[in-house]
Structures are given as C-alpha cells and as structure tokens.
Chains A and B, each alone.
Chain A
Amino acid sequence: MTEERAEKFLELFNKGKEFTEELLRENQRLRYRLASLETEGTAGFNEEVQRLRSEVQQLTEENRRIAQRFKEVEEENKDFANRYIEVEEQNNNLANLYVASYQLHSTLDFREVIQIVQEIVINLIGAESFAILLLDEKTNELKAIASEGEDVMPGIESISTRLGDGILGSVAKTGESYYINQDLEDGGKVSLDKPLAAVPLKIKEHVIGLVVIYKLLQQKDSFSAVDYELFSLLAAHAATAIFSSKLYSQSERKLNTIQSFLDLLTTTS
C-alpha cells in the first residue's frame, strides 16, 4: 500500500518535473524570440531614422538651392528694373533728340532756326544765360547773333572774338567742346570769355559757330553725363540747320536779284 502510494507520488512528481521542464523551455524560447524581436525592431527604427535624416538633408539642400536661386532671380529682377529705368531715360533722350532735330529741320528760315536753337538750349539743356556765335569766314571773327539772359551776363549780346583767341576762339579753332561745372574748379567766376560750356556748331570737321553757356537754370545744379552727349548731337543738328537756312536765304536773295534784273531787262526791251 505504501509502495503503491510512493509510486503514484513519484509519477506525479515526474509529471510535475516534465511540466516544469516544458515551462522552462517555453520560457527560454519566448525570451529568445523577444530578444530577436527587439534586435529586429531597433534595426528598423535606426533605418527609418537614417532614411529621414537623409531626406531632411536633401530637403535642406534643395531649400538652400531654392533660396540661392531666389536670390539670383531677385538680383536679376533688380538688374531688369535698373535696365528698364536706363532704357526709359535713353528713350526720353532719343525722343528729345528726335523732336529737336525735327524742329530744327522743319524750316529754312534763318531767324526761325535760331529761335528753335534758343528754345532747345533753354528747354532741353536747361540754360538760363547763353549766346549763339557764328563764324565769319572772311574776317575769322566769331560774333554773337542771338543771346538769352543778358541780365545775368551783361554784354553777352555783343560778344565778339577772333578765331583762336581765348577759350571761345580755341573751341572754334579746334572743334573740341569746352566744359566746366557750375562750381568753377579754380574758384574763378564765369565771365564773357570764361563760360560754363562752349560747344562748336560743326558740320563734319567744319566749325561754323558756337553755342556758349554762361548760366544754367536755377533748378539745374550742373551738367549731367547725358547732357554732354545730347548737347554735341544737338549742336551737330543745329549746325546743319543754321548752315542750310543761311544758304537758302542767300540763294533766295540772289534769286530775287536775278529776277529783278530779268524783269528790268524785259521791261526795257
């Protein structure tokens, strides 16, 4: 009886042992599985982080590139805006030149041409006191034929100088323009023979006279860069207009003389 009970106990004990062993194995298996799952999870997470980091880096690079391009486009835009202003100014100057030359060549009347030259010098160059001198090729003398602003520069209306003499004479002789700024560099004063500007009226290399400026309009401080160019171009147009109108009036006079002579001959015969 006691043996039978001992066997049953032993059997029970063995079953318990087997069960415990099985539990231990399962525990081992699960721990292993957990460990492997943990390893797999960390690797995936690290991969994802790595991928995101790389993406952020790419986006940052792209962002930098876009910012750089934006800066470049902005610079280009500024350049275009400046260029637009320059083109506008050029356009304006060309329009001024076109209108001035159109007006200068719109008449063959000598006095009218001189009047137009005066208007241009006042309105486009911005001169308050100036004179137009013509060269007498027989006497080599430059004489004022029109002037403006006599109150500012007394005697301007009767300027007369010989070719080669002083500033005016040498401008007429060399055909080179003379400019100083409103504030005289040597501190001297503008005088009849020391103007602010003297621009030759030239047809090719042949000087027929001068435009001499003594004072600019109150609102104009000094000559601007474009004034020099504009002034020379206008002077060239003015020169041809003055020369043509002078020739025309001379030929008109001759024609009238011949006509009168012919009339006289016809009447007497």
Chain B
Amino acid sequence: MSVPAELRYTPEHEWVSVEGTSASIGITEYAAQQLGDVVYVSLPTPGTAVTAGEPCGEVESVKSVSDLYSPVDGEVTEVNTELEDDPSLVNAEPYTAGWMFRVKVGQDSNGEAALPPDLLSPAEYEELTKSAG
C-alpha cells in the first residue's frame, strides 16, 4: 500500500499536498481500499470556507458512506469535477487523478503555508494504518 513521502496526512485518512499556499486534498489509498468501490463524492462548493477537522463533504461507496474532513483551514478554490463522471478514480489513482479539492490556506510569519500542527508525516500515517490492522 502506497503512502507517498511528499504528502502530509490526517488520522481521518486524508492526504494534503502543498504548493505555495494552495493545498490539494484527497483520501489515501488505505481509505479507498477500506471503503471499497467509490460511487459518489460530494465536495464543498468553491468559494466556501472549510475548517480543519470539520466535515466538508461525503464519500459514498457501495457498502458505506463516510464524511470527508478538511485537513486545513482556508477557502475552497477548486474541486475535481472529473469525479462527478468517474468516482472510481478515487480507487484507481487516489493520490493523482483521484484528488478531491483545493484550498487556499493562510501564511505563517515566515510566509509559508499555515498548516495545522497535527498533520501526520508519512511514517506516522503508515504507523497508524498498521495499528488499525
């Protein structure tokens, strides 16, 4: 199971990729495997504010529905409209074509993207999925 080294993670199984102050977000391969075939993704509307740790959408699979949590604070700038026609991208390519939404985050005092301090490193996330069995 893949946990790309360049990403950050949450205990709710989202990943975050940061470029400047733009954070791209999706769910991990582990999450996609646990959910099974994804059939519908409800995403936040561009322009709305999201809060780290708060639900901002839903992921429906054949067997279940799960809340999608925002890993960061900020404003939604873009969503992956490809998922509307092909939600199975979440299963097939969770870290690339299966991305879900982008958020413009604030800057810290160094001019870097202001991210919640409790995001997990790849090693920490991998540990979490292992202990979850």
A and B held together in a complex: no
Q: What residues make up the interface of B, taking CB atoms closer than 8 Å to A? A: none
Q: What residues make up the interface of A, taking CB atoms closer than 8 Å to B? A: none
